[in-house]
Chain A
């Protein structure tokens, strides 16, 4: 391999950029895992759902709201929208085969994409993020405030979600409903509502990812399509069943793509994506369940 000129300060910058992208992939991957765990279905509409809520944020900000005023409002709208979609669109096909549900989520993605084109038009829009793109010096390393902010927000959301799952009764019920719906019903958990809650939370994660990436790229109806692809890869790398895996998978993928592109000479900008995917493919050949995917231990 041909190594490219190397300095520590540049490595630090690259790592932060990688983690920034990784944090966004991780949020969306986590959304996929949340829904997969409870329904065994990959939600192909997760990306469009995220973009849609980002457009809602854009509209609110166009009506004079600041980013941080719009932020909780958008999260609430995303939550209700996600839960409503589960009740209205997914519920009727709940007992159908996984393939049927996958097709329904694909249809939902197309529908949302069309709606965005109708409501907001197809062109790219500038989305003013909450963080300045200025760089600051941290121990001789120049790092953009935006990158730090995106990483911080992603981490905060993931930590909050983890606390919710671990320490609240509702979070426990949500996990239980995914693991063993029959037993959950017997202790009084309303499993149907838990699925709606899961979709709501997934939509919230998607909305965060959308609002974090929109200032970096431009906002347009297809904005999340590539990101969704990365999120799939991140989730598969971490193990589709594992929320921790989704986060680690997302961060690892972000780092891998950035560092391969920068430091491995023949890879460069053009080959960084296939190179990263190749590494992950090899890894999955060794560990098909992903890094954190595990089988439940049972003794009888």
Chain B
């Protein structure tokens, strides 16, 4: 049974429908990518899962129907790093991390140590106001905050956006380690299809609010239409 399964999920912003029945499944321990052009519904798919946007259709997580509020999905072990990273810019790096561990009773110190192992830069800047970090450091902080939640499922929205290639490498390297070492299931939305298909084991392609293709990354890499539209 997959850890996460979406069946016919629809969502709208006011009168504008963004998802027209998305169905996809992610296995436990998998790193899955969601690809697609601007406006295809990638971000909305993540929002529907975490409950940020109202949706219909069924989403099952770990064998149970998923609640529809972000506070509740967070408490079930879903960490969502949203578009724009969702940094608490006015708070310190350390307070951002503490907030990641908000729903956990204890272990803040140990969890923070793990975050600092992944991203040593954050430890040097722990007392700095988060809004003054560079873009790459903010993305690391967002990942660190999510890591503090000790998630079973990590949802990432365009982690490479606006970052230098070297920083992107570092971030994706960290993602792969989280996936392999801790067995965290990860769903990552990416515009950079080459990068995503390299890191992910499975991928889905969205077009105007529907899944048009899905399967193991090697298959998609070999697919003619994917090569044309996304790998250039």
| A residues with CB within 8 A of B | 169, 172-173, 175-176, 179-180, 182-191, 296-300
Contacts and interface: CB of A to CB of B under 8 A. Distances in A.
Interface stretch (B22-30, B94-102, B193-201, B213-221): B94-102
Nearest to A190: B71
Interface string B119-150: 00000000001011111000000000100010
Interface in B155-189: 162
Given A182-B52, A186-B50, A186-B82, A297 B89 contact: yes
Interface residues of B, number: 31
A188 B104 CA distance: 10
A169 B98 contact: yes
Contact of B74 (A176, A187, A296, A300): A187
Nearest to A192: B71
Contacts, number: 77
A188 B74 contact: yes
Contacts of B103: 187-188
A11 B145 CA distance: 53
Interface of B: 50, 52, 69-71, 74-75, 79-80, 82, 86-91, 95, 98-100, 102-103, 129, 131-135, 145, 149, 162
Given A176-B88, A189-B71, A298 B131 contact: yes
Query: Which of A173, A175, A176 is most buried by chain B, counting CB atoms within 10 A of its CB?
Result: A176
A176 B131 contact: no
A100 to B, nearest CB: 21
A180 B96 CA distance: 11
A168 to B, nearest CB: 10
Contacts of B82: 182-183, 186
Contacts of A188: 71, 74-75, 102-103, 149
Given A185-B70, A188-B149, A298-B131, A180 B88 contact: yes
5 tightest CB-CB pairs across the interface, nearest first? Answer: A188-B74, A183-B86, A188-B103, A185-B70, A298-B131
Nearest to A184: B99
Given A183-B86, A186-B86, A300-B135, 9 more contacts: A175-B91, A180-B86, A183-B82, A184-B99, A185-B71, A188-B74, A297-B129, A299-B131, A299-B132
B74 A173 contact: no
Contacts of A176: 88, 91, 95, 99
Contacts of A300: 135, 162
A139 B38 CA distance: 74
15 contacts: A172-B91, A175-B91, A176-B88, A176-B95, A180-B88, A182-B82, A183-B82, A185-B71, A186-B86, A187-B79, A187-B99, A188-B103, A188-B149, A190-B71, A300-B135
Contacts of B52: 182, 185-186
A239 to B, nearest CB: 13
A296 B90 contact: yes
Contacts of B162: 300
Query: Which of A183, A190, A297 is most buried by chain B, counting CB atoms within 10 A of its CB?
Result: A183
A187 B145 contact: yes
Contact of B90 (A179, A187, A190, A191): A179
